[in-house]
Structures are given as C-alpha cells and as structure tokens.
Copies of this chain bind each other. A is one copy, B any other.
Amino acid sequence: MFKKIAIFGVGLIGGSFALALKQAGMVQQVVGAGRSLASLERALELGIIDAIAVSAADAVADADLVLIAAPVAQTGLILASIQPYLQPGTIVTDAGSTKGDVEAAARLALGIKIGQFVPGHPIAGRESNGPDAAIASLYVGKKVVLAPLPENVEADILRVAAAWQQCGANIHRLSSAQHDLVFASVSHLPHLLAYALVDDIANKPYAEVLFQYAASGFRDFTRIAGSSPEMWRDISLANQDALLQELDAYQAKLTQVRGLLAARDGAGLEAIYQNARQARHRWISAIEAAEKQNKEGGD
C-alpha cells in the first residue's frame, strides 16, 4: 500500500498507472505534476489524481513513490527540480523508452541521492495520449522492464516491481545497455523505417496516386508512423548509438537483398522471406501460447 504517489506527466502512461493502483486499492492519494495545467485539471476531473501539486517540493513531500511519465528528454530536468526535496523514504522511478540516457541524466541530477532512483520502462502502446486516453487496464499482461542501478537496494526495486504488478504487469530486468540495444532493434528502428517510408512516398511528385492504392498491408506497416514526432525525435537522439548500430545492420541486410533481386536469385530471396516468415510465426505462436496460459492460470 502507498500513502502518496506523485506522478509527473498525467497522460496515457502516468494516468493509467494511477487508475490501476486506485482500482486495486493500493494508494491513498495521487498527486499530479507537469507542464500542462490543462492536462492536470482534466486528470483531476477524471479522478486520475486527487490533487495538483503547486511545486516540485509539494509534489514529492511525504511521497512513497514518484513516477516520471513525461517525454524522455525532460526526465533530467524533473529529477533536478525534485532533488533538493527528496526525502530518504521516497523511491523515484520513470517510464522512459530509453534507459542509458535516463541513467546518465539521473546521475547528474540526483547526485548522492541516485540510489533512490529505480529506472523502468512499461511496454505499452502510446499512440493516443493525454489524460483522456488513460485506462486502468493498460498494463494488464504487459511487460515492464526495470533496469536497476548498482546503487539501488533490492527492497526499493521490489517495491517498484510490486506497484507495476498491482497494475497487472509482468516484471523483467535488463541492464540499461541491454535494454537500449533490444529496443533499438524491435521498436526504435521500426519506427524510423516506417517514418522514412511514408516521408519517401509523400515527397514523390505523384504521391497522391500512390496513397490512393495503398491498402491494409501498408496501413499496418506504417501504423507506427502515426506516433508523436517529438517523442520519437527524443527517443532517436536518446538512443543514438544503439539505433545507428541497428540501422547500419539493417542497411547491410537491404544491400544483400538488393543484390539477390538484381541477380534474379529467386532461391536466395525466397530463403530470406521464408526465414522471416518462420521466425515471425514462431514468435506469434509463443505469444499466443503465453496468452492462453495466462487465461487458464486466471480461471
């Protein structure tokens, strides 16, 4: 049970965390903070938060837990603003999509209080946003990655894990370097590729004709290009090293495929398509088996 939780950023991610813990009866008071007064007032109206903090000091005073769910580039500034007021009993965590840069920013901002910060990343869709998008069930069955620091004590890590578990999430642990490489590969690179394709097509002189014939496959392929450009600019820059590495590997793969196509090597192309299809099929089957097991376990 938490007496007071402070949430910086009361949109989809922060708001859903608050709603889930309230529904589970795990928190007495949720205080909201953030850049947008309109969002805070709306969150209050929706019952996501119980009060709006008037200052950083006010937000974290007597809080058990602080969640930073603002765009990842703001994490350092928010941590710096609360650092002077952070009491020893307060644990801070975040919901940022990158972890290496967050860890570096946190070390700068928190100094000797760095041990109170347990970095985290809930893996949940983020295309709709704002307090109105928040729902108590957002994290049910989803993964939350914690990327603990050497300075963290195990009890604090477990307390953050427990909060997410109360939201219905499954906890995983990775180092921040592992985390950033994994998400560069399966999330950040696909976003960059989807944005690049739509931009490429949109800039052609006959773009309107092209879009006219785009169908459901194109719609799914480019769905992630509907995400927030500001957020993905920040993520791209924050995870620059890993993303460049993954992009280079992908460009090398495309060059290989181009060579097969130019040489009319049908067997070579089919082998790549087949390998991809089988790997994806194994992955989807594993997800579906896990979902089935979750359901059966819940009966």
Q: Which residues of A does B touch, CB under 8 Å?
A: 123-125, 143, 145, 172, 178, 182-183, 185-187, 189-204, 207, 209-211, 213-230, 232-234, 236-237, 240, 243-244, 247-251, 253-255, 257-258, 261-262, 264, 266, 269-270, 272-277, 279-284, 286
Q: List 27 A-B contacts (CB under 8 A).
A: A124-B215, A125-B215, A186-B201, A186-B210, A187-B217, A187-B218, A193-B193, A196-B254, A196-B257, A196-B276, A197-B250, A197-B276, A198-B277, A202-B275, A202-B279, A207-B279, A211-B282, A219-B284, A221-B224, A225-B280, A226-B281, A228-B277, A229-B270, A236-B269, A237-B264, A237-B266, A240-B264
Query: What 3 pairs across the A-B complex have the smallest Cβ distances?
Result: A202-B279, A229-B273, A198-B276
Least distance between A45 CB and chain B CB atoms (Å): 28
Q: Are B223 and A220 in contact (CB under 8 A)?
A: yes
Q: Are A198 and B261 in contact (CB under 8 A)?
A: no
What residues of chain B lie closer than 8 Å to A183, measured between beta carbons?
A: 213
- Asked, given contacts A233-B266, A269-B233, whether A276 binds B217 with beta carbons under 8 Å apart, the answer is no
Q: Are A213 and B279 in contact (CB under 8 A)?
A: no
What residues of chain B lie closer than 8 Å to A197, measured between beta carbons?
A: 189-190, 193, 250, 253, 276
Most B-side CB within 10 Å, residue of A187, A198, A203? A198
Q: Are B233 and A273 in contact (CB under 8 A)?
A: yes
**Minimal Cβ-Cβ distance residue in B for A142:** B215
- Asked, given contacts A215-B123, A227-B277, whether A240 binds B261 with beta carbons under 8 Å apart, the answer is yes
Q: Are A182 and B143 in contact (CB under 8 A)?
A: no
Q: Is chain A's interface secondary structure helix, strand, loop, or mixed overall?
A: helix
A189, B277: Cα distance in complex, Å: 16
Least distance between A4 CB and chain B CB atoms (Å): 31
A123, B215: Cα distance in complex, Å: 7
Least distance between A204 CB and chain B CB atoms (Å): 8
A76, B171: Cα distance in complex, Å: 56
Q: Are A261 and B273 in contact (CB under 8 A)?
A: no
A266, B125: Cα distance in complex, Å: 23
What residues of chain B lie closer than 8 Å to A216, measured between beta carbons?
A: 125
Q: Are B213 and A280 in contact (CB under 8 A)?
A: no
Beyond A194-B221, A198-B276, list 5 extra A-B contacts (CB 8 Å): A172-B213, A186-B211, A195-B276, A233-B266, A243-B261
A292, B18: Cα distance in complex, Å: 37
Least distance between A120 CB and chain B CB atoms (Å): 14
What residues of chain B lie closer than 8 Å to A237, measured between beta carbons?
A: 261, 264, 266, 269
Least distance between A281 CB and chain B CB atoms (Å): 7
A223, B215: Cα distance in complex, Å: 13
**Minimal Cβ-Cβ distance residue in B for A218:** B186
